[in-house]
Amino acid sequence: MNPYQFPKIPVLAIPAILLAVLPLAQTAGAQNAASVKADSGVRLQISPADKDSPFNMKEHHVHLFSPRSSTVERHSPLPQTEAVSEARKIAAARASSLAASTTDSTSIPGVPAPGYYPADLSNPAGGPVVTTAKSHPVYVNCAASCWGDPLIFLDHLDDSNFMHITDQYVGSTANDRYKEGNSSSITYPVFTALTDNDILQIAHAAAKVHGSGYGHIYHLFFPSGVDICFTGTTVCYSPDNPATFVFCAYHGSVDFKDLGHVLFTVEPFQDVPGCSINQPSPNGSLIDSTSSTLGHELIETITDPDGTAWIALNSLGVFGEEIGDLCVNPFGTEAVSVLDGKPYEIQQMYSNKFHACANVP
């Protein structure tokens, strides 16, 4: 698959149901007091430096999470960065070489080298991964309860075996590598669909307070009714306009000239057709739909933060897809996974170890 190609030009100002918050006292996987305190949040404000940040950056890359049952391109609608272009060239060369030597045996799980299961993930360019990081939710124009309090899910996910699926890709087996960090809230004007310029301003404001680099991942949550588009395109989160409804969420990275490297995910409201989990589910549509997409974007950020690391490159049908893309159920029903004693209906992740989607390491 080839990414969307658009000229790299400066962009102008870029620009549901509520469920009861999960009980804070549970026997297994109970949310601790520190998490509750953290979710009270830091109040962010957009400064002049934040407004200028889209014009004071170098690299900017994103990877899209398409709506369920969609065959839409998942790659960045932004021009490829030099690093991503080089990684794609290496991946394409590797795929071509493997295709030339493919035999029927390569479709058998566990085939000895140089045989290769078609959907397994590879990192031929040796791109960076995230070995340990803090996840920082940023709530835009609404309280954490508008999304079912995602910090609770992040706490359970970090403490679960599910998270150890990433071990094989990042080279670490340590526990508690992806702990919940500090949450923030921000009031941001929404007149029309927000764009990548708005996203960068909010990410810059959060990173300025909590830190930059591969040790921090910012999850930007947007409430119901807020559309998000890429400037100059019809590539949007727009459940109200199916013609431009191209993604449910995405993760990205950017190099700001003043702060350096910043990792972020964009989490529009997920309890909408095309993004939501079918019902019934253990925690209801709001929490499980939000959690499934959040897990997807977090783990893809860990295994492929810049579009230069772990991707599928041995099958044209899924070329360039990431650890979460390969395992999305297009019909909206996912397996129930128990995370630190708490059941969630969330999508599984691709495991090279099993040559399949899994919820255990």
Whether the per-residue pLDDT at 6 is higher than 50: the answer is no
Whether the per-residue pLDDT at 173 is higher than 70: the answer is yes
Confidence of residue 89 (pLDDT cuts 50, 70, 90): confident
Assess contact for 325 and 65: CB atoms under 8 A.
yes
Domain that holds residue 209: 36-100+119-358
Question: Which secondary-structure segment (H or E) carries 285?
Answer: helix 284-303
In a domain, 96, yes or no: yes
134 φ, ψ (degrees, to nearest 5): -105, 140
Q: Cα separation of 142 and 308, whole Å?
A: 34
Confidence of residue 81 (pLDDT cuts 50, 70, 90): confident
Calculate what percentage of the chain has a pLDDT beyond 70.
81
Whether the per-residue pLDDT at 142 is higher than 50: the answer is yes
Whether the per-residue pLDDT at 21 is higher than 60: the answer is no
Q: pLDDT, tens digit, for every residue of 155-169?
A: 999 999 999 999 999
pTM for the structure as a whole: 0.85
**pLDDT the model gives residue 38:** 43
Calculate what percentage of the chain has a pLDDT beyond 90.
72
**pLDDT the model gives residue 94:** 67
Q: Cα separation of 179 and 112, whole Å?
A: 36
In a domain, 60, yes or no: yes
In a domain, 15, yes or no: no
**pLDDT the model gives residue 342:** 98
Structure tokens at 57: 């950056």
In a domain, 285, yes or no: yes
Whether the per-residue pLDDT at 39 is higher than 60: the answer is no
**pLDDT the model gives residue 315:** 78
Q: What is the DSSP string of 166-199?
A: GHHHHT---SS-S-B---EEE----SS-B-HHHH
Q: pLDDT, tens digit, for every residue of 297-346?
A: 999 999 999 999 999 988 778 888 999 999 999 999 999 999 999 999 99
Q: Cα separation of 357 and 289, whole Å?
A: 19
Confidence of residue 70 (pLDDT cuts 50, 70, 90): confident
Contact residues for 82 (Cβ-Cβ < 8 A; gap 6+): 59
Whether the per-residue pLDDT at 7 is higher than 60: the answer is no
Whether the per-residue pLDDT at 105 is higher than 50: the answer is no
In a domain, 22, yes or no: no
**pLDDT the model gives residue 72:** 65
In a domain, 108, yes or no: no
In a domain, 43, yes or no: yes
For the chain, the domain total comes to 1
In a domain, 316, yes or no: yes
For the CA atoms of 65, 6, 307, 101, the dihedral, rounded to the nearest 10 degrees, stands at 100
Task: Look at 55-59, 76-80, 92-96, 235-239 and tell me which has the smallest mean pLDDT.
Answer: 92-96
The mean pLDDT of the chain is 86
**pLDDT the model gives residue 116:** 64
Whether the per-residue pLDDT at 59 is higher than 70: the answer is yes
**pLDDT the model gives residue 287:** 98
**pLDDT the model gives residue 83:** 85
